[in-house]
Amino acid sequence: MVCPNCGSNMSDKRKRCERCGNDLTIYKKVFSASNHFYNDGLARAKVRDLSGAIISLRKSLELNKLNINARNLLGLVYYEMGEMVAAISEWVISKHFKPEDNDADEYINKVQSNLTKLDSLNQAIKRYNTALGFAKQGSDDLAIIQLKKVVNLNVNFIRAYQLLVLLLIKTGEKDKAKKYLQKIAKIDVTNTTTLKYLKEIEVAAAVKDLNSNPEAEQPPSTGAIMPISSYREDKPNVMAYVNLVIGIVIGLAVAAFLIVPTIKKNVTSDNDSGYADIGYTAEQIQQKDDLITQLQAEKEQLEKDKKDLQTQIDTLNKAEDKDIYTGLIETTIVYMAELEKSKSQQDLITVADSLANIDDTKLEAEAAKQLYQDLKTVTFPEAAKNHYEKGHSLYTQGKYEEALVQLKQAMKFDPEDVDAVYFAARAYHRLDDKSNAAVYYNQVINDFPDSSRVADANDYLKDVQE
């Protein structure tokens, strides 16, 4: 134990500091209470009661901010809920208080070493913020599209799931919302927001069944206020903890002496088993090994692609009419330069824009045609996605002319993107250019008859043809 007054190390059995004479009775009781809340949080985390674990671990840290085990476990719980920023924050604070021999070093290093996953989590946060902006603006469809991408990038991001569920309920897609709720209930079994949404869906379904079948049994009158009841049930639990702390402060010193050694022993044993149960030891090591194998394979493939591209360039340089192939050679050189970078830093959009300026009908050599198709396959989908998202963003901001430029670029790179065509029609419609709007609405209806956009396109087409 460390004396809070002078900082000297001393035996846990001492009531007073041997150096400064400070009374340690209250301090030891508070330390014991902090460990109690840590053990409670650990027990809750093992059964995936993550929300309850967070409450207990925060109380533990309120009593003893230097409880490194509680802080590290809190970071793991946040990580499991998809809250990467909160998790890393707790581990960094833990490392600040205990720079040496700290498990937080291992957790931070594992996160930072997996650059692919780290980039995915970063993209998930950015897309979540974008979706939140769309939701506030009332663009529910755009927000739902973004949130579906978010939960694919970060499968444990509970906040994103809950916002997606809320929007699905708002748009009437309650069956889909219920599936997502059941999925996140497996991540955090006692999350009050999840349970409240699930209860709302069940009550709405019961009312719907009652309206369709008047003879059906009436649902319990208290069903609609269950969220309030569950909230009141939580209150005694909190008061129990408060009473426990007060009891410990006022309680018996002899009991404290008997409990402290046992708790410290249990804490040590719980640490060894607790973190493995959360699933961030052997599993993450295996993931790291798999990632190394994958990156090595990708590196070998990139080296092979680079050699093939260089061979094709050499072949084109020997062609009689070099002017025809100049643009293709320059584009290939740019692409090879991008291959030297990490995946997150590669700019394939520039390569695609350059490739789009090449007239492939003039390419006569088979090697040139094959090279053009290979580059097109690699770069065009990413360019289409990038231009579409920019067009989307500009459209929602009311910048319809600028949006059209980006959306037409998206259609150029991916003619099968029905969303780009639909929003181009909407942009023309907003600009009151009814003739062009009708052209694109008809394109949606005729070229993409199975798309969900057809119904809306038919309705809007009637408006522009009146």
What confidence score (pLDDT) does residue 196 get?
Answer: 85
Could you write out the three-class secondary structure of the chain? Answer: CECCCCCCECCCCCCECCCCCCECHHHHHHHHHHHHHHHHHHHHHHCCCHHHHHHHHHHHHHHCCCCHHHHHHHHHHHHHCCCHHHHHHHHHHHHHHCCCCCHHHHHHHHHHHCHHHHHHHHHHHHHHHHHHHHHHHCCHHHHHHHHHHHHHHCCCCHHHHHHHHHHHHHCCCHHHHHHHHHHHHHHCCCCHHHHHHHHHHHHHHHHHHHHHCCCCCCCCCCHHHHHHHHHHHHHHHHHHHHHHHHHHHHCCHHHHHHHHHHHHHHHHHHHHHHHHHHCCCHHHHHHHHHHHHHHHHHHHHHHHHHHHHHHHHHHHHCCCCHHHHHHHHHHHHHHHHHHCCCHHHCCHHHHHHHHHCCCHHHCCCHHHHHHHHHHHHHHHHHHHHHHHHHHHHHHHCCCHHHHHHHHHHHHHHCCCCHHHHHHHHHHHHHCCCHHHHHHHHHHHHHHCCCCCCHHHHHHHHHHHHC
In this predicted structure, the answer to whether residue 23 has a pLDDT above a threshold of 80 is no
In this predicted structure, the answer to whether residue 213 has a pLDDT above a threshold of 60 is no
Range of weakest confidence among 170-174, 277-281, 331-335 = 277-281
In this predicted structure, the answer to whether residue 10 has a pLDDT above a threshold of 80 is no
Range of weakest confidence among 73-87, 159-173, 187-201, 311-325 = 311-325
What confidence score (pLDDT) does residue 248 get?
Answer: 57
In this predicted structure, the answer to whether residue 356 has a pLDDT above a threshold of 80 is no
Band of pLDDT at residue 422, cut at 50, 70 and 90? very high
Instruction: Determine what percent of the chain is predicted with pLDDT higher than 90.
Output: 14
What confidence score (pLDDT) does residue 327 get?
Answer: 73
**402 or 285: which leads in pLDDT:** 402
In this predicted structure, the answer to whether residue 207 has a pLDDT above a threshold of 90 is no
What confidence score (pLDDT) does residue 254 get?
Answer: 44
Predicted model pTM: 0.42
In this predicted structure, the answer to whether residue 342 has a pLDDT above a threshold of 80 is no
Q: What is the pLDDT of residues 34-87, one digit of tens each?
A: 889 999 989 998 888 888 889 999 999 988 888 899 999 999 998 888 888 888
What confidence score (pLDDT) does residue 278 get?
Answer: 41
CATH of region 291-465, choose from 1.10.3720.10, 3.40.50.1860, 1.10.760.10, 1.25.40.10? 1.25.40.10
**250 or 300: which leads in pLDDT:** 300
Range of weakest confidence among 101-105, 113-117, 178-182, 231-235 = 231-235
What confidence score (pLDDT) does residue 86 get?
Answer: 85
In this predicted structure, the answer to whether residue 322 has a pLDDT above a threshold of 50 is no
Band of pLDDT at residue 272, cut at 50, 70 and 90? very low
